[in-house]
Structure 1
């Protein structure tokens, strides 16, 4: 217990937005709140740190001094518990949602895999195919989930079914909710709290990565606890390359509307300045269906001049990144695939392109962002 932490009735006071211990001395550390704001919070019964207050009211992020190691230490105690682990991933960025070494962090505890943000998928998507894909990706990371559930924390879709699954699998045990930053975990937790208690928007949420800083414990009806853990920073997420303005341009807020482009061999399609798709070779013109944020700028050009076009228009016509961020932005890296069946070329965190069988294509992304091929979801 640090000397600066606020103690009320013998207990450390925690921010109800992010879980950090409240303190009034160091503005650069988690949990800081001015004494005047603290007194108002105590009167109302809702104490938020200054960081959460600014996030809730102004959508403004305030940096604090937590490292990746700090997050991992907070989670390392889970392996010693007898609990159910609810592992939340973003169906729009599955690879970026995977926690390295999660099977070691959770020990022998069972894992329920939850795919969040299902509301952005077009209605033509088959949920079973998506769930199977999530399970395969989890298996590849060494995780063997006891179940897979698709939900939307934003729209409340199938959250009641998730609650039923949690109750079924936990068998009277505590529950830990884990995930990397920016997968919508806190939004989902807020839906669970609302359904359980009627309280709305208790936990701080925003489009910025890393808004939950410490464990937040929520009592369950049988005396056990559901704990929201801090999001682990995953550098491979597209979100960590972007500022708030840029995130608005790539993060879907509504159901994705597919866009079909007719491309000849040796044509290129840019997805802002963050991704690129090349139809390298094939027997004829084909239709390619793009699934990305509805407002993301897409531009078709010839493959022969694509490199020159990218260099000349990055941060301008090809946005994001914005002009301010373009100078330090890494060049895109190519990943080539020859399709044998109808497939999706997935640029994690940006979108995917459905392509026909029997052609050669390339997907381009910043070097730390995964580009994958999977059987088409439609």
Structure 2
């Protein structure tokens, strides 16, 4: 007999059930466990099983939420992927919305904080938000976590629901876990580098206050969708992120394993600054050797590359103003600063992966 009840998995929010074909499956008495098998294996073995996951169901949940009611929106975005994580869905409700710009710890240790903040404001405004309210944070920054906690409390005092929304992998669950720790609570949401670990709405008590955690909106353009699970942790290793400078001339190429290739076509000798995981290998070569090196990479079992079923690549030529620096946003991989002097590049990656030169360079 397949049994189910109203008890939810603390990790993903699915209702616990003994039905092996359903999300929230457990093979024990439902009253004896707090996590479904999917979350248990994810937390303990870094393995994820999305075979029962329907992305359309997640999108439908978000679409059906009534934002016109007494809700205050905490929109979590990734500072390293603003172009792909700022959502236009909430423009009509911006009077009751705050942006939580997360992963600020991924920026270099020394940077112009005032200029970066200004560029982030301008980026968010370019999506149609007027004078946005912003809290800059990371899951390791206690002072900003306290700010968020105070705002959640104020929202609850006003009889509003604190709704946490955002794309997959922006760090919502990590932030909520820090709010729980701040309030001396031990229940931890499932946190992992994988896509869509939260799958149903969850009401969470944080101290005396309530918040609602929503599933992360899927990003089809995110590079993490197209690599092996074992490689995801290397790509998104935030504890091991860094900035790496390469000074190169035109007719040289930089490649990140089997994931990305950048040909420098026109300009003067200049630098490309990569804000990515240290676990990723960057190779420099003559552009005449780039295609050969790419083929070697994608046949090397030690090199991160795309899943075999994804094999259509795109090449994009990008013209730049040589008098300004620019940020190249590769969704899910990181940011690349294209410094002054660079006039034209060609970028090669998988057809599905999002590539854009941001309107404003934040670093």
**Deviation of the 1:79 alpha carbon:** 1.9
Of the three residues 16, 28, 32, the one matched with 2:10 is 16
Partner of 2:185: 199
1:321 lines up with 2:309 in the alignment: no
Counterpart contact for 1:176–1:227, Cα < 8 Å: yes
**Deviation of the 1:185 alpha carbon:** 1.0
Q: Structure 1 residue runs of 4+, over 6 Å off?
A: none
**Deviation of the 1:157 alpha carbon:** 6.2
Structure 2 regions of 5+ residues with no counterpart?
none
d(CA) in 2 for partners of 1:154 and 1:332? 37
C-alpha spacing 1:40/1:247, structure 2 compared with 1 (3 Å): same
1:86 lines up with 2:74 in the alignment: yes
d(CA) in 1 for partners of 2:117 and 2:214? 24
Aligned residue-pair number: 358
Deviates most, 27-36 or 313-322: 313-322
d(CA) in 2 for partners of 1:372 and 1:342? 10
After TM superposition, the structure 1 = structure 2 runs for residues 141-160 of structure 1, keeping only pairs within 5 Å, are 141-144=127-130, 146-154=132-140, 156=142, 158-160=144-146
d(CA) in 2 for partners of 1:64 and 1:327? 17
C-alpha spacing 1:64/1:28, structure 2 compared with 1 (3 Å): farther
**Deviation of the 1:175 alpha carbon:** 0.5
Structure 1 regions of 5+ residues with no counterpart?
42-46
C-alpha spacing 1:108/1:136, structure 2 compared with 1 (3 Å): closer
d(CA) in 2 for partners of 1:295 and 1:90? 20
**Deviation of the 1:246 alpha carbon:** 1.6
Counterpart contact for 1:120–1:255, Cα < 8 Å: no
TM-score by length of 1: 0.84
**Deviation of the 1:123 alpha carbon:** 1.3
Of the three residues 275, 284, 293, the one matched with 1:300 is 284
Q: Secondary structure at the match of 2:181?
A: helix
TM-score by length of 2: 0.87
After TM superposition, the structure 1 = structure 2 runs for residues 341-352 of structure 1, keeping only pairs within 5 Å, are 341-352=324-335
**Deviation of the 1:4 alpha carbon:** 5.4
C-alpha spacing 1:250/1:230, structure 2 compared with 1 (3 Å): same
C-alpha spacing 1:179/1:56, structure 2 compared with 1 (3 Å): same
Partner of 2:261: 276
Give deviations 1:112-159, integer Å, cap 9, x for gaps: 111212222211233444444444343343444741112112565621
**Deviation of the 1:335 alpha carbon:** 3.9
After TM superposition, the structure 1 = structure 2 runs for residues 169-180 of structure 1, keeping only pairs within 5 Å, are 172=158, 173-180=160-167
